[in-house]
Chains A and B, each alone.
Chain A
Amino acid sequence: MNFPLPEFIATSASHPWTYVLFGLIGFAFGFTLEMSGFGNSRKLAAQFYFTDLTVLKVMFTAIVTAMVLTFGAVGLGILNFSQVWVNPTYLSSGILGGLIMGVGFIVGGFCPTTSLAAASTGKVDGMFFVFGGFFGAFLFSETEKYFDHWYTNAGYYGRLTLDQVFHLPIGVVVLLAVLMALFMFWGAEQLERIFGKRDLTKEPKLRIAGAGALCLLALTVVFIGTPSLKEKYNKLTFTRTETIPQVNADPIVNTYVYSADQMLEKRLVQIAPAELFKTVYNQSINLIMLDVRSESDFNLYHIKGAINVPLASIPAIIPDLLTEPPANSVFVLMSNDEAAATKAWKQLSASAVPNVYILEGGINNWIAFFGKDEGFKAASSIGNDKLGFIFPAALGSKYESCDPNPQAYEALEFEAKIKLQLKRDKSGGGCG
């Protein structure tokens, strides 16, 4: 079984249990917050006067506990991290919004979820905070249009995790986060001793054992590491549906789940030159053509708009492919035939880059299809992913067939294989 469970990624009327599960998660969430004292604004505000640092202790214990368990599960290969919601990074609106939240926190004495715990236990100030919150959300929705461009673009880095920022293995970052949290707990207790006059000798000794256990778990996460590309590749699944029209009845929709190797064997990711050509002019798709051949072959002939990324450089561009382009991006890989493009396809797919396809038959097939009137001379030795034609000069994309005239190829027949799999809605997860 592979987690997260696809049925539970969003609520859906066709799976009523999703409402129950999310309701239970919310229930446990509210229960633990109230249990920890987060229904009391005075206890929350005390965090900022160093007398009682419960907020910091609860928050960071929760963060590192969840972190260790999550990346442990990712390392063991039972949790697919690319299916886990990671808040996209919008640095500018995030930091300004965070500062505003801090102001609201110290003025109002709650944060949104703790105000729910307070209001539901009869705290009048909690109820006022909740009502204020509705008004704040209303104000934001009314004013967002005045800074929409800044809000959606400023400091946008997409799905960016700290291991990418620091160029460290994920396990090491997890261990560092745990150590930082433990250091903060120690500091928090010292502050409570000084400002809150708390007697630390009365604190339960068990917390030391807990700290040790956490470190041990974090070390285990470092040790198991993250699954290799090959392991991720073997776990890949693709869903394709087939609709069979019925006479006088709803069409039958069959859903098939294929492994990555099956996708290649059944040739479901190899798109015909005609489909690639039509996709160039499809306004709803952001097409990115990656030419994985050597620079010299690329200079001899390439499709207009293709970017040259030799096969060896593919791993280096994967982080950009995962974060930068918009959700409707489709990547098409091409080599002289299909060998190098297929290797690149395996790498990209295993790294969870969505919507990756291969140009069927490669550049040679493209030339055979669009360039038959240009009289290119066929090369004497063909095969083995070599360029099948001889070019007297390195004219790149200056040939007519590099950018075929759309009017001349109005009607093309091909089997459409591109199925746009949208990334999860940017504003859909997290607190969104």
Chain B
Amino acid sequence: MTTAPIAKKNIFNRPEKPYANPYLGGMVLGIVLFLALFLTGNGLGSSGGTTRLVAFIEDQINPAHVDRTPYLLKMAGGDKNPLDDWIIPVFFGALLGGFTSGTIFGRTKLETTKGPNVTNRTRWLMAFLGGTIFLYGARMARGCTSGQALTGGATLAAGSWAIMFAIFGGAYALAYFVRKLWL
């Protein structure tokens, strides 16, 4: 077993810089969140973007099915465009912002981040599975770590605080049983 990721191709060959101090990163993120709330009244989010993209694709393939599915109907029923929402520019902005930061600090490279004792293939499978589970839960809770925990946490929304503790609770409860994935 190797601990180093297999393919290390640094796209722009910049020296890799260490991550920012978490408190500094958190403070900047907090200011971004405040500006979002202050200027637009909306917070941050991304899982809503995923759902809207799914609704958009389904609407292209089978619009009749969308009109029969209550959950999709709200976003893409009839002539509604599911992409006409603030979360879509936020979603693509986040992709671009992540790429920019990763590139500036020399971290944009094709690799797999994983625990030392799993193969790439296991990691990919688990990432896909985890993504599926996470988004299912995020839609059930009407928001993910950004839309609920961050945004609702900052606006003192009671439900969001419950969700935040549930996320940490769920992850800590299972962490021991999947430790082979990470340790």
* Chain A residue nearest in CB terms to B107: A121
- Bitwise, B42-57 to A at CB < 8 A (1) or not (0) is 1111111011011100
**CB within 8 Å for A89 and B40 given contacts A97-B138, A113-B46, A132-B131:** no
Least distance between B66 CB and chain A CB atoms (Å):
9
**CB within 8 Å for A118 and B174 given contacts A29-B97, A84-B155:** no
Taking CB atoms and an 8 Å cut-off, the chain B residues in 1-54 that contact chain A are 11, 19-23, 25-48, 50-51, 53-54
Interchain CB contact (< 8 A) of A104 among B137, B157, B164? B137
* Chain B residue nearest in CB terms to A25: B36
Interchain CB contact (< 8 A) of A85 among B41, B46, B166? B41
B39 / chain A contacts, CB cutoff of 8 Å: 3-5, 8, 21
Which stretch from A46-54, A234-242, A250-258, A348-356 is at the chain B interface?
A: A46-54
* Chain B residue nearest in CB terms to A188: B22
State the CA gap A93–B160 with chains docked (Å).
Answer: 11
B146 / chain A contacts, CB cutoff of 8 Å: 29, 111-113, 431
A410 / chain B contacts, CB cutoff of 8 Å: none
Least distance between B165 CB and chain A CB atoms (Å):
7
B40 / chain A contacts, CB cutoff of 8 Å: 4-5, 8-9, 21-22, 25
Which stretch from A56-64, A263-271, A337-345 is at the chain B interface?
A: A56-64
**CB within 8 Å for A93 and B141 given contacts A85-B151, A124-B124, A430-B45:** yes
Q: Once the chains bind, are B138 and A101 in contact (CB under 8 Å)?
A: yes
A109 / chain B contacts, CB cutoff of 8 Å: 113-114, 126-127, 130, 181-182
Q: How many residues of B contact A (CB 8 A)?
A: 130
Q: How large is the interface on A (under 10, 10 to 19, 20 to 34, 35 or more residues)?
A: 35 or more
* CB of A228 within 8 Å of the partner chain: no
Interchain CB contact (< 8 A) of B38 among A47, A79, A128, A141? A79
* CB of A162 within 8 Å of the partner chain: yes
Interchain CB contact (< 8 A) of A103 among B92, B133, B153, B164? B133
A-side binding surface: helix, strand, loop or mixed?
helix
State the CA gap A141–B26 with chains docked (Å).
Answer: 33
- Bitwise, A101-115 to B at CB < 8 A (1) or not (0) is 111111111111111
Interchain CB contact (< 8 A) of A4 among B29, B38, B72? B38
A160 / chain B contacts, CB cutoff of 8 Å: 157-159
Q: Once the chains bind, are B127 and A110 in contact (CB under 8 Å)?
A: yes
* CB of B98 within 8 Å of the partner chain: yes
Taking CB atoms and an 8 Å cut-off, the chain B residues in 94-153 that contact chain A are 94-103, 105, 107-115, 120, 123-153
* CB of A31 within 8 Å of the partner chain: yes
* CB of A88 within 8 Å of the partner chain: yes
State the CA gap A67–B33 with chains docked (Å).
Answer: 9
Least distance between A335 CB and chain B CB atoms (Å):
34
State the CA gap A47–B72 with chains docked (Å).
Answer: 35
State the CA gap A265–B26 with chains docked (Å).
Answer: 49
Least distance between A394 CB and chain B CB atoms (Å):
42
* CB of A395 within 8 Å of the partner chain: no
B71 / chain A contacts, CB cutoff of 8 Å: 140-141, 144-145, 148
B105 / chain A contacts, CB cutoff of 8 Å: 34-35
* Chain A residue nearest in CB terms to B154: A66
* Chain A residue nearest in CB terms to B55: A141
State the CA gap A117–B53 with chains docked (Å).
Answer: 18
* Chain B residue nearest in CB terms to A3: B38
State the CA gap A164–B156 with chains docked (Å).
Answer: 10
Which stretch from A37-45, A292-300, A357-365 is at the chain B interface?
A: A37-45
Q: Once the chains bind, are A63 and B11 in contact (CB under 8 Å)?
A: no
State the CA gap A89–B156 with chains docked (Å).
Answer: 11
Q: Once the chains bind, are B152 and A27 in contact (CB under 8 Å)?
A: no
* CB of A429 within 8 Å of the partner chain: yes
State the CA gap A96–B26 with chains docked (Å).
Answer: 27
Q: Once the chains bind, are A99 and B169 in contact (CB under 8 Å)?
A: yes
Interchain CB contact (< 8 A) of B69 among A145, A427, A428? A145
Interchain CB contact (< 8 A) of A98 among B72, B95, B137? B137
A312 / chain B contacts, CB cutoff of 8 Å: none
* CB of A383 within 8 Å of the partner chain: no
A124 / chain B contacts, CB cutoff of 8 Å: 110-112, 120, 124
Interface residues of B (CB under 8 A from A): 11, 19-23, 25-48, 50-51, 53-55, 58, 69-72, 74, 84-103, 105, 107-115, 120, 123-175, 178-179, 181-183
| 25 cross-chain CB contacts under 8 A | A8-B39, A11-B89, A26-B90, A26-B94, A27-B93, A29-B29, A30-B95, A33-B29, A35-B105, A60-B26, A62-B154, A69-B38, A86-B152, A88-B157, A97-B166, A102-B166, A111-B134, A112-B145, A118-B113, A122-B111, A124-B120, A137-B50, A430-B142, A431-B142, A432-B87
Interface residues of A (CB under 8 A from B): 3-5, 8-11, 18-37, 39-43, 45-49, 54, 57-67, 69-70, 73, 79, 83-91, 93-126, 128-142, 144-145, 148, 151, 157, 159-165, 170, 173-174, 177, 185, 204, 207, 210, 427-432
